[in-house]
């Protein structure tokens, strides 16, 4: 499975951005797709995830109510809609995918390249 993330950019605080992650290869094997982010000097952290079938979602506390995640199975693409952005949301955002169910937010098999999101104050 190959993942291609896009949509990052520079936005003012309070603004919105939508990230996309397109899967290719054995995308039919994907159980869930997720988003992570890593700010300079920080560890990579979980942001959100969605299951391919059923669309069950999971969000980090820090983004709940501001971010939404959606999927388009026909396009093998997952979207991260980020609203009410804050400077602390500035990070490189990565998409990930896994082929099995897991109660852990840390177990992912496939990773895409990152896309930079910068929120100015």
How distant, in Å, are the alpha carbons of 6, 13, 18, 40, 91 from that of 47? 16, 18, 14, 16, 11
Q: Given pLDDT bands bounded at 50, 70 and 90, which one contains residue 58? A: very high
Per-position DSSP letters for 43-54, written without gaps between them: --EEEEEEESSS
**Residue 103: what pLDDT?**
81
Phi, psi at 89, each rounded to 5°: -80, -5
Mean pLDDT over 55-64 rounds to 96
**Residue 47: what pLDDT?**
98
Mean pLDDT over 7-18 rounds to 98
């Amino acid at each position: 499975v190959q993942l291609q993330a896009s949509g990052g950019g520079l936005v003012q605080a309070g603004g919105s951005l939508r990230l996309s992650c397109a899967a290719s290869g054995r995308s039919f094997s994907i159980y869930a797709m997720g988003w992570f982010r890593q700010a300079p000097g920080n560890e990579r952290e979980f942001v959100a995830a969605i299951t391919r079938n059923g669309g069950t979602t999971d969000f980090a506390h820090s983004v709940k109510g501001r971010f939404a995640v959606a999927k388009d199975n026909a396009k093998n693409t997952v979207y991260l809609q980020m609203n009410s952005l804050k400077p602390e949301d500035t990070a490189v955002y990565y998409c990930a995918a896994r082929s099995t169910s897991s109660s852990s937010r840390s177990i992912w098999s496939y990773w895409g390249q990152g896309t930079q999101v910068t929120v100015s104050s």
